[in-house]
Amino acid sequence: MSQGDRASGAADGGVRVRPGGSARALSEAYDTALLDLDGVVYAGGQAIAHAVESLAVARGGGMGLAYVTNNALRTPDAVAEHLTELGIPTGAADVITSAQAVARLISEQVPSGARVLVIGGEGLRVALRERGLVPVDSADEDPAAVAQGYGGPDMAWGRFAEACYGIARGVPWFASNTDLTIPSARGIAPGNGAAVEVVRIATGAEPQVAGKPLPPMHKETILRTGAETPLVVGDRLDTDIEGAFNGGVDSLLVLTGVTDAAQLLAAPPEHRPTYVDVDLRGLLAGQPEVEELQGGDGGFRCGGWTAVAGDGELRLEGDGEAVDGLRALCGAAWSVAGEGVCELDAGKVVARLGL
């Protein structure tokens, strides 16, 4: 049982009703951080504020760092080189990709040496070769599987047709991940999930999917890192946090990426993180307790803030660190929502916090 379990925040029955607390720094309470990249470590290719320094301190204190990405385009070597250039010394073995997860999934279902039709980039080809499989480019080369991963903005339309030809012949179809979007330096672009939808619409088939938030990706990270008390660190509720939920491990949501305060307050149980913090400095500190107030009025306190759910809205009183106010609001919102989602108006309180 992890430190996060002991500090809980889950009600009887396992539904999380408030963020958990930890008397110890998270970098001491967990042996390995499983870190998402985009929105957590970097954005637009540049390091996010405080990321480099925070990871250096966590690593120096003995915490293992692994970088877990649904992007199947780049190889682990390329990702490690990029992180090292940003000032985060990283080896290829520290990087786990959805390409590796889907390659393992395929290798468990087809013979060693089998051909695999690749609809994607170099990262997917390298991962397939690592598992003893042979990447090919045509459905006419007798593939045993079709593997689809993000191929970048220049992927030719004809590659999707090739996937359809193979699937129509009864070849099993695998996808690295189904993220509909991917961040870029110019904004949000179509991700592998959008490309998967093209093939799905054309064939009516359903792929086996490996990436976050599904179990094959979590299995891959644990096998490669050997983590015993891992902490998933991410910015997306529907991949990072849900993946931790599915894997039965604790998670830290950082507010440097796509998830905003309103989305967090409306999160269903599988999207509720164990901890919430502003950025990766949260790894280096304990997490404050979110206390339920006595009296049954739905109130929760964290730091100098008190949050209450009622009369059709969420209310917030007090002052202090904005993230403490958000933690208190999570308690009020998640508690009233139970196994559902909170539909109370949170506009005023979110605006007050400025998050």
For residue 281, give the DSSP letter: G
What is the predicted pLDDT for the residue at 10? 66
Q: Computed from CA positions of residues 257, 261, 262, 267, in that sequence, does the dihedral angle turn out positive or negative? A: positive
Cα separation of 183 and 43, whole Å? Answer: 8
Cα separation of 77 and 341, whole Å? Answer: 41
Closest CA to 189 of 179, 198, 174: 179
What is the predicted pLDDT for the residue at 89? 97
Query: 266: part of which helix (H) or strand (E)?
Result: none
pTM: 0.93
Residues in the chain with pLDDT values less than 70: 1-13, 296, 298
Cα separation of 26 and 31, whole Å? Answer: 9
What is the predicted pLDDT for the residue at 8? 57
First to last CA, the chain: 32
Which residues does 87 contact at the CB level (< 8 Å), separation at least 6? 47, 52, 56
- Residue 187 tokens read as 């904004």
Cα separation of 325 and 18, whole Å? Answer: 12
Cα separation of 120 and 99, whole Å? Answer: 10
Residue tagged active-site, from 5, 12, 31, 36: 36
Is residue 127 within 8 Å of 102, Cβ to Cβ? yes
What is the predicted pLDDT for the residue at 186? 80
Is residue 7 within 8 Å of 287, Cβ to Cβ? yes
Is residue 135 within 8 Å of 174, Cβ to Cβ? no
What is the predicted pLDDT for the residue at 44? 83
CB neighbours (10 Å) of residue 67? 25
What is the predicted pLDDT for the residue at 332? 96
Which residues does 118 contact at the CB level (< 8 Å), separation at least 6? 124, 125, 128, 135, 136, 137, 147, 149
What is the predicted pLDDT for the residue at 6? 41
* Bond prior to 19 in cis (omega within 30° of 0): no
Strands 305-310 and 313-318: antiparallel
Is residue 269 within 8 Å of 336, Cβ to Cβ? no
**Identity of the residue numbered 133:** L
Residue tagged active-site, from 5, 38, 279, 319: 38
Q: Is 38 considered catalytic here? A: yes
SS3 140: helix
What is the predicted pLDDT for the residue at 11? 53
Q: Is 5 considered catalytic here? A: no
- Residue 219 tokens read as 């299995």
What is the predicted pLDDT for the residue at 355? 86
